[in-house]
Amino acid sequence: MANYYNKDLYKILGVNIDASETEIKAAYKKLALKYHPDVAGKNADETKFKEVQEAYEILKNIENRKKYDILHGFYTEKIKKEYEIYNNTQNKNKYEEFIKQVKAQKKNSPESFTKSINDALENLFHSQNMHKKQAYKPPVNGEDINIDVSISCFEAINGTNRKVNILHTQPCPNCHGRTFINGTKCSMCNGSGEISQQKKINVKIPKGVYQGSKVRIKKEGNKGQNGGKDGDLFLIINVEKNSYFDIEGLNILCNLPITPYEAVLGAEIPLYIMNETINVKIPPMTSSGQKLKLAGQGLENKSKTKKGDIIITVLIKLPEQYRADELELYKRLQATADYDIRKDLRNASK
């Protein structure tokens, strides 16, 4: 550690020995900026920056400054007077005693005197730093993290799992976000003041989420500092469009393809929805576009007081190709049919 006693801290800061606190602070700020390794550019000087910081650390505190003044030999009538003004009789006596001791020591053993006062300043400095470390720091809550998650409509209806990558950011534990340590750029965060960490976690997305839903994963946000709470992770749900499923409020909409003969004869069609297989009854003579409602089998609201429906829209679909014998059957149907399917249309056109 530096030989504080031998250094002229006032000269380092470029101020008079009777400079006010304000003057000392102003001088420190000016010089710190002048030599700051990150700000000063060409003029940057880490050694000088460090020296200025150390000088300020001692001189900014009125008691430490006095001790330094006394030990360095700067104590003058003016400082003595100041001391008398600020302190009671008991302190004054202690001060006089201290001065006496200092003088005696200095006279008897100049070398050990220098050493002892340097030690005293070192201790002073050390305890100051210790004090800083233990000083009360207000708790800071960690920030929440939002990430977008795309899921299919089917997953929204049934619930799903996802592996997500989260980027946690927190103040650098080495420099505590100050970016510099004793005038040197922090090596852990490279002077950014914060560190980032990737984390992979499995998240459960409950059934019944919809477009824009926010799924909260507790305490997976950024870490709180100094006893502050950890933030939460929020998954912002994007439901991808799908030609078979859609969600409208608490209702689940489903387009169900059926064959022409299922439409005519009726059918029972298994449909996997809401984590179970339900049998959808298609009544005989069902037309394309007809809707079937499965009441109360849709999504539940948050307070579980209301349930939506599953609304099925039947769509008669043809295969890409019919075999020749199947086409033959259609031809026979056509030949024997005697109903007039467009009678209503003709009436409407009149």
Q: In terms of residues, how long is the chain?
A: 350
We find the least distance from the C-beta atom of residue 38 to Zn ion, in angstroms, to be 13
Complex with Zn ion: residue 157 or 172, whichever CB lies closer: 172
SS3 157: helix
We find the least distance from the C-beta atom of residue 185 to Zn ion, in angstroms, to be 8
Complex with Zn ion: residue 43 or 184, whichever CB lies closer: 184
We find the least distance from the C-beta atom of residue 179 to Zn ion, in angstroms, to be 6
Phi, psi of 243 (to 5 degrees): -80, -5
Of all helices (H) and strands (E), which one includes residue 165? Answer: strand 160-171
DSSP 208: T
We find the least distance from the C-beta atom of residue 178 to Zn ion, in angstroms, to be 7
Task: Give the number of other Cβ atoms within 10 Å of residue 236's Cβ.
Answer: 14
**CA pair distance 226, 283, nearest whole angstrom:** 67
Phi, psi of 115 (to 5 degrees): -65, -45
**CA pair distance 237, 152, nearest whole angstrom:** 10
Complex with Zn ion: residue 189 or 239, whichever CB lies closer: 189
**CA pair distance 1, 125, nearest whole angstrom:** 10
Task: Give the number of other Cβ atoms within 10 Å of residue 162's Cβ.
Answer: 16
We find the least distance from the C-beta atom of residue 167 to Zn ion, in angstroms, to be 17
**CA pair distance 208, 249, nearest whole angstrom:** 10
Complex with Zn ion: residue 167 or 188, whichever CB lies closer: 188
Complex with Zn ion: residue 194 or 240, whichever CB lies closer: 194
Complex with Zn ion: residue 101 or 174, whichever CB lies closer: 174
We find the least distance from the C-beta atom of residue 189 to Zn ion, in angstroms, to be 3
We find the least distance from the C-beta atom of residue 72 to Zn ion, in angstroms, to be 34
Question: Could you give the strand order of the β-sheet that contains 233-240, starting from the edge strand earlier in sequence?
Answer: 145-152, 233-240, 214-217
CB-side exposure of 86: number of CA atoms within 13 Å? 10
Binding site for Zn ion (CB under 5 A): 172, 174-175, 186, 188-189
Complex with Zn ion: residue 175 or 282, whichever CB lies closer: 175
Q: Are 186 and 174 in contact (CB under 8 A)?
A: yes
